[in-house]
Amino acid sequence: MTTTEIGQAYSRVRTYSEQICEPLETEDYVPQPVAFVSPPKWHLAHSTWFFETFILKNLVPNYKVYDPDFNYLFNSYYNNIGERTIRTDRGNVTRPTTRNVYAYRKYVDAQMLELLDELADPAALAMVELGLHHEQQHQELLVTDIKYILGHNPLFPVYRPGCNLVDGTNPATGWEQIPEGVYEIGHEGPGFCFDNELGRHKVYLHSFEISRALVTNAEYIDFINAGGYRDFNLWMDEGWSWVTHSNIAAPMYWYRQDGEWYYYTLDGFKKINPEAPVAHISFYEASAYAQWKGMRLPTEFEWEIASQTIPWGLRWEWTNSAYLPYPGFSKAPGAVGEYNGKFMINQMVLRGASVATSPGHSRFTYRNFFHAHERWQYTGIRLAR
């Protein structure tokens, strides 16, 4: 990107985070109902801390940090401060206030924009670009974490009237055929990518077919009605434990009332749209559904090849690939190197993007990843055979 472009991108991305939070009440910024959901206040501060720590402190001479305490409150890791060590849960840190966090953003933004006016060093620009993509990742988490917080309130509050992200429908049907052969996988070229997409390399694919449409709510209800959640033969062993111990019988946010299915959406409690692609399901559920249909999930390599000719972008799509390094993967030295590599165990790859993904934050080679039981993201199912 040019200096002008990056300045514009910076403003656009930073503003978008705050637009996501516009409908919130102050109280909504605070809680962390489960470990994997962070308080909106924390997302806003943490993405700001990234720019302060990796750009401003390194590049602005005599930069004065906004508040020295913020370093251990808003980096992502466990901290201690000598003998006064306190381990805190993010959801209990009421101070700094939301107002103060917005002031922090304003302070950092002003300094960043001043800096960006004349920043030309390619390594520094790359770090800014990484910061923007990092903030876009937190934007999607903001949306899903807000949904989690409001959706676990017995009052089912509306986030934004009319903002029902889950009701879009499949733009295509039928099956795409991909022939056997050696294919190239991974990112190459000038655009941005994360380190886990690098190392463009060859894979051998056997011929396969992949659905042009995602599994719909109506199809998924068939699975439920056929007893899919009660037939252990369809499930991974650990998936069956999860279903049993957590009493799972439907996707997250689904409720059955008087024989009808409803779901919580960001527009409130609604009757389920049968034609929309199913959302908020775990890998275990995606895998059991595929097993029930006598089919399977695609690998991430099959997906990457097929995605160049089929429509995608409504749901993060579970693949049957574990999140592992590409040949030649190496971690950058220091804190930035912790971005991806250390999570390459016990997680499954999702490909595509979702209705909650920020504009401009998707590409064929993007590798998203979550644990097999996680489902608070807008996750869905595409079948292969």
Contacts to a second copy from residues 135-194, by CB under 8 A: 149-150, 152-155, 157, 182
Give ∠ CA 225-231-237 in degrees, rounded to 5. Answer: 135
| Count of all residues that appear for the chain in the document | 385
Contact 367, 349 (CB under 8 A): yes
Residue 39 has what DSSP assignment?
Answer: P
3 binds a second copy, rule: CB under 8 A = no
23 binds a second copy, rule: CB under 8 A = no
Cα(79)–Cα(371) distance, integer angstroms: 25
Residue 346, SS3? Answer: coil
The residue from 93, 125, 198, 221 that contacts a second copy (CB under 8 A) is: 93
In degrees and rounded to multiples of 5, residue 88 shows phi and psi of -120, 150
The residue from 22, 27, 118, 121 that contacts a second copy (CB under 8 A) is: 27
The footprint of a second copy on this chain (CB under 8 A) covers a number of residues equal to 72
Contact 170, 277 (CB under 8 A): yes
Q: How far is CA 287 from CA 246, 349, 380, in A?
A: 17, 13, 11
Cα(142)–Cα(161) distance, integer angstroms: 18
Write down the least CB distance from residue 278 to a second copy, Å.
20
Q: Which is nearer to a second copy, 113 or 249 (CB)?
A: 249
The residue from 10, 14, 21, 31 that contacts a second copy (CB under 8 A) is: 31
91 binds a second copy, rule: CB under 8 A = yes
292 binds a second copy, rule: CB under 8 A = no
List the x/- string, 202-231, binding to a second copy by CB under 8 A: xxx-x-x-----------------------
List the x/- string, 51-90, binding to a second copy by CB under 8 A: ------------------x--xx-------xxxx-x-xx-
| Interacting positions 104-133 with a second copy (CB under 8 A) | none
245 binds a second copy, rule: CB under 8 A = no
Cα(311)–Cα(25) distance, integer angstroms: 37
Question: Which amino acid belongs to residue 361?
Answer: H
Write down the least CB distance from residue 209 to a second copy, Å.
13
The residue from 22, 118, 121, 237 that contacts a second copy (CB under 8 A) is: 237
Element (H, E) at 201: strand 201-205
